[in-house]
A and B are shown apart, each in its own frame.
Chain A
Amino acid sequence: MDSSKYLDDISEIKNMMSRSSRFISLSGLSGILAGIYALIGAYIAYLILYPSDWKFDSYQDIQMALLAVATAVALLAIITAALLTFRKAKKSGESIWNTSSKRLLANFLIPLLTGGIFVLLLIRLEYWIMIAPSTLIFYGMACLNASKYTLRDVRYLGITVIILGLLSAYFTGYGLFFWAAGFGVCHILYGSLMHFKYDRK
Chain B
Amino acid sequence: MSIINNINKAFDHRIRLGIMSILMVNDYADFNMLKELLGATDGNLASHTKALEKEAYVKVEKQFIGRKPNTRYSATPLGKAAFQKHIDALEKLIGR
Among A6-14, A76-84, A123-131, A179-187, the one that faces the other chain is A6-14
Among A15-23, A53-61, A135-143, A169-177, the one that faces the other chain is A15-23
Known: A6-B94, A20-B37, A99-B33. A12 touches B25 (CB 8 A): no
A17 contacts B14, CB within 8 Å? Answer: no
Minimal Cβ-Cβ distance residue in B for A21: B25
Among B15-23, B48-56, B58-66, the one that faces the other chain is B15-23
A3 within 8 A of B: yes
A12 contacts B36, CB within 8 Å? Answer: no
Q: How large is the interface on B (under 10, 10 to 19, 20 to 34, 35 or more residues)?
A: 10 to 19
Minimal Cβ-Cβ distance residue in B for A12: B17
Known: A21-B25, A99-B29. A16 touches B37 (CB 8 A): yes
What is the number of contacts between chain A and chain B, taking CB atoms within 8 Å? 49
Known: A9-B17, A98-B36, A99-B29. A16 touches B22 (CB 8 A): yes
Known: A7-B94, A20-B21. A13 touches B36 (CB 8 A): no
B10 within 8 A of A: no
Q: Note all chain B residues with C-beta closer than 8 A to A98.
A: 33, 36
Please classify the interface of chain B as helix (H, G, I), strand (E, B), loop, or mixed, using the class held by over half of its residues.
helix
Q: Which of B17, B25, B93 contacts A20 (CB 8 A)?
A: B25
Residues 1-37 of B at the A interface (beta carbon under 8 Å):
14, 17-18, 21-22, 24-26, 29, 33, 36-37
B21 contacts A13, CB within 8 Å? Answer: yes
How many residues on chain A are close to B (CB under 8 Å)?
17
Q: Note all chain B residues with C-beta closer than 8 A to A17.
A: 21-22, 24-25
Q: Note all chain B residues with C-beta closer than 8 A to A13.
A: 17, 21, 87, 90
Say how far B16's CB is from chain A's closest CB, in angstroms: 11
Say how far A7's CB is from chain B's closest CB, in angstroms: 5
B18 contacts A12, CB within 8 Å? Answer: yes
A16 contacts B18, CB within 8 Å? Answer: yes
Known: A3-B93, A98-B33. A12 touches B21 (CB 8 A): yes
In the complex, 18 of the A-B residue pairs with CB atoms within 8 angstroms, ordered by the A residue number, are: A3-B93, A3-B94, A10-B90, A12-B21, A13-B17, A13-B87, A13-B90, A15-B21, A16-B17, A16-B18, A17-B21, A17-B24, A17-B25, A21-B25, A95-B36, A98-B33, A99-B26, A99-B33
Which A residues contact B (CB, under 8 angstroms)? 3, 6-7, 9-10, 12-17, 19-21, 95, 98-99
